[in-house]
Amino acid sequence: MPRESGDASFLRRLNQVAVLRALHATESATLAELARATRVSRATAEAIMETLLREGQVEEFAPSATEGLRGRPARRFAFRGAVGHVAGVGIGAARLTVMVADLRGRIVAREQVSVPTDLSSAGRLDAIGTLVEQACAAAGIAVAALTAVGVGTTGVIDGEGRVVKSVVLADWTGVPLQAELARRLAVPVLVENDMRLAVLAEHWRGAARGRTDVMYLHTGSRIGLGLLLGGAPYRGSHAAAGELGGHPNSRWRTFQHVMDYAMAVDPGELRAPSQAALFALDRAREGDAGAARVVESFARSLAEALVTLVTPLDPELLVVGGSLAQAGEQLTEPIRVYLGEVCLYPPEVVVSELGADAVCLGAVRHALNEAERLLFASA
């Protein structure tokens, strides 16, 4: 019996990957549509489809009753998302979030837990491991069945997934996060900075869909920045792009306006910077003219800090996220006006569509990128 040559086997694998990729990129397709999309014969597409059906990577639709009345319907197929799963982990100071998704990106389980802000690194790692197990159980799969786990955390993250520096989480600097979680979960783990994953999520499912050059401004207990350049998150030469410097307790000078206001109006209450900002925003919504002026000054201070990045990078869109983004136009309009005054090509300024889920969804997308790389590998 003649043996199939290595070249023929490789070509068959290339064609199979092409058909699978084409099917993954659409909701469903017929054999004729797949053959045209991949430039293979219909007979080749049919043979490949039978293989993919046996392997459980695709599924065939049963013809509807209406189609049956019009004669023999064309066979229609879809990529089977449940062939694999990934998990995304969002690590916050006071909250951990885990989402499990199939390979279509459909979220099939979500778990969240509050944790003490001063939790030790070992305690936080254990809590993450437990939460991933709970999310997988809710999705009806074993942790070992995950193709990859994406993780988003504050701080500078090196190429090995180690936290080089974190000024937000206690006992987090120096933690080999990727290695520790991979040891606990026994599946591939990919770790990235939370702001880069937030802008990735906005590009995937949020306000930045269809955009290629985007800034994501996080406004909350801290100020952070994520950059998407050419459609990909930008890391920088030291993986520190977007880090606006170490500001313990988030006492960045732009918060001074709202902190002074909160102290003057309600001196009996000691507020953190983000709490002072929310206090001023609430008062402004209630019609307090002084609060409205302070909020505008706060927003313009944010814009002044951004302009040194907006001017040289020329993004088409600025997405404002974080807890303060709930203010909507109260926050975005002064930023929009200031950038319009000083920038040759001011970006569009919008509020995040993903809210507090941005980092975890970005971690899911990060894991899906790895799963798709493996799925569509040619050899």
Give how far Cα 114 sits from Cα of 44, 72, 76, 357, Å: 53, 56, 45, 15
Give the CATH number for residue 287.
Answer: 3.30.420.40
Give residue 102's domain range.
84-199+358-375
Amino acid identity of residue 179, one-letter, is A
274 and 366 housed in the same domain? no
Residues 329, 362, single domain; the answer is: no
pLDDT digits (tens, 9 = 90+) for 210-261: 999 999 999 987 888 999 999 999 988 877 776 654 444 444 578 888 999 9
> Would residue 163 count as lying in a domain?
yes
Question: Are 309 and 212 part of one and the same domain?
Answer: yes
For 98-111, what is each residue's pLDDT tens digit? 999 999 999 999 99
First-last CA distance in the chain:
25
More confident residue, 3 or 133: 133
Residue 3 falls inside a structural domain:
no
Query: In this structure, are 212 and 347 located in the same domain?
Result: yes
279 and 180 both lie in a single domain: no
Number of domains in the chain: 3
pLDDT of 323-365, one tens digit each? 999 889 999 999 999 999 999 999 999 999 999 999 999 999 9
77-95: per-residue pLDDT in tens?
999 999 999 999 999 999 9
Query: What integer pLDDT is reported at residue 168 of this predicted model?
Result: 87
29: domain CATH number?
1.10.10.10
28 domain residue, yes or no = yes
Boundary-marking domain end, from 79, 109, 138: 79
Contacts of 88 (CB under 8 A, 6+ apart): 98, 99, 101, 149, 150, 151, 152, 360, 361, 362, 363, 364, 365, 366, 367
Query: Is residue 308 assigned to a domain?
Result: yes
In a domain, 258, yes or no: yes
Task: Give yes or no: residues 75 and 107 share one domain.
Answer: no
pLDDT in tens, 31-69: 999 999 999 999 999 999 999 999 999 999 776 555 555
pLDDT over 60 (residue 29): yes
Which pLDDT score, from 0 to 100, does residue 300 have?
A: 92
Beta bridge partners of 85: 102, 146
For the ranges 145-149, 198-202, 305-309, the lowest mean pLDDT is seen at 305-309
Q: Is residue 2 part of a domain?
A: no
> Angle CA(132)–CA(375)–CA(183) in degrees, nearest 5?
35
Mean of the per-residue pLDDT values for the chain? 90
pLDDT, greater one: 250 or 320:
320
- Whether the per-residue pLDDT at 8 is higher than 60: the answer is yes
pLDDT digits (tens, 9 = 90+) for 161-189: 999 999 889 899 999 999 999 999 999 99
Asked if the structure places residue 192 within a domain, the reply is yes
Q: How far apart are CA 182 and CA 193, in angstroms?
A: 17
Q: Are 214 and 203 in contact (CB under 8 A)?
A: yes
CA 328 to chain CA mean position, Å? 21
Same domain, 19 and 113: no
- Asked if the structure places residue 293 within a domain, the reply is yes
Residues 91 and 116 both lie in one domain: yes
| pLDDT digit string, tens, across residues 265-290 | 998 888 888 899 999 999 999 999 99
Say whether both 324 and 221 belong to one domain.
yes
Q: Are residues 221 and 335 part of one domain?
A: yes
Burial zone of 348 (CB within 10 Å; 0-12 exposed, 13-18 middle, 19+ buried): middle
* Same domain membership, residue 53 and residue 155: no
Q: Among 59, 79, 99, which residue terminates a domain?
A: 79
Same domain assignment for residues 124 and 62: no
